[in-house]
């Protein structure tokens, strides 16, 4: 292994070790769930596997309840705002959930009424990490 490849490998390993899971906020309000603020366009987030969603109650009395039969299961219970509830997603897929008071489990993984969806995709692959490592290596060489 030549020194340049070894250097890139070390940087790559360091890059992977510092890759961290994010926490994504979803607002809970009368009568929807959204990453955007209440009153704006409703946005159901797409997150990376290992990320945590933190739901933040902004108004009303609601729950965050996963539909039955999914790979991810969570239930906040019913709470008035202010309240928060978090769940870390370890599985890939689309996960529908609903408010136990203003929504419903529609069966077969779907939800209706006051409901939302979390889409979980893989973390950026090795190609992105290698690009970062190469960029880091190049910037280091330039400083010498
Ligand atoms: Cu509700």
Does 63 lie in the same domain as 28? yes
Does 14 lie in the same domain as 25? no
| Start-to-end CA span in the chain (Å) | 22
From the list 45, 25, 27, 31, the residue with the least C-alpha distance to 101 is 31
Average pLDDT over every residue of 18-41 = 93
Domain that holds residue 144: 1-19+125-144
Average pLDDT over every residue of 5-14 = 42
pLDDT tens digits, one per residue of 72-131: 999 999 999 999 999 999 999 999 999 999 999 999 999 999 999 999 999 987 766 566
Distance 26 CA to ligand 1 centre (A): 14
Average pLDDT over every residue of 59-71 = 97
Does 90 lie in the same domain as 38? yes
- Which residues lie near ion ligand 1 (Cβ < 5 Å)? 62, 99, 101-102, 114
Q: Chain-wide mean pLDDT for the chain?
A: 85
Does 110 lie in the same domain as 62? yes
Distance 38 CA to ligand 1 centre (A): 14
Distance 92 CA to ligand 1 centre (A): 26
| pLDDT band at residue 46 using 50, 70 and 90 as cut-offs | very high
Distance 69 CA to ligand 1 centre (A): 21
User: pTM of the predicted model, to two decimals?
Assistant: 0.76
Does 135 lie in the same domain as 100? no
The least confident of 15-19, 22-26, 127-131 is 15-19
Rounded Cα distance between 14 and 104, Å, is 45
Distance 31 CA to ligand 1 centre (A): 6
Q: What pLDDT does residue 124 have? A: 83
Element (H, E) at 100: strand 93-107
Answer left, alpha or beta for residue 29, where phi above 0 means left and psi between -120 and 50 means alpha.
Answer: beta
Does 14 lie in the same domain as 30? no
């Amino acid at each position: 292994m030549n020194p340049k490849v070894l250097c890139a490998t070390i940087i790559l390993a360091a890059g992977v070790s510092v890759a961290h899971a994010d926490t994504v906020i979803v607002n809970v309000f009368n009568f929807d769930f959204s990453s955007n603020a209440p009153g704006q366009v409703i946005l159901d987030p797409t997150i990376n596997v290992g990320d945590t969603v933190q739901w933040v109650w902004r108004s009303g009395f609601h729950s965050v309840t996963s539909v039955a039969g999914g790979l991810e299961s969570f239930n906040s219970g019913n709470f008035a705002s202010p309240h928060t509830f978090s769940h870390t997603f370890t599985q890939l897929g689309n996960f529908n959930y609903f408010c136990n008071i203003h929504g419903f489990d529609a069966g077969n993984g779907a939800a209706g009424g006051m409901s939302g969806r979390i889409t979980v995709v893989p973390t950026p692959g090795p190609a992105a990490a290698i690009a970062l490592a190469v960029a880091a290596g190049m910037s280091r060489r330039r400083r010498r």
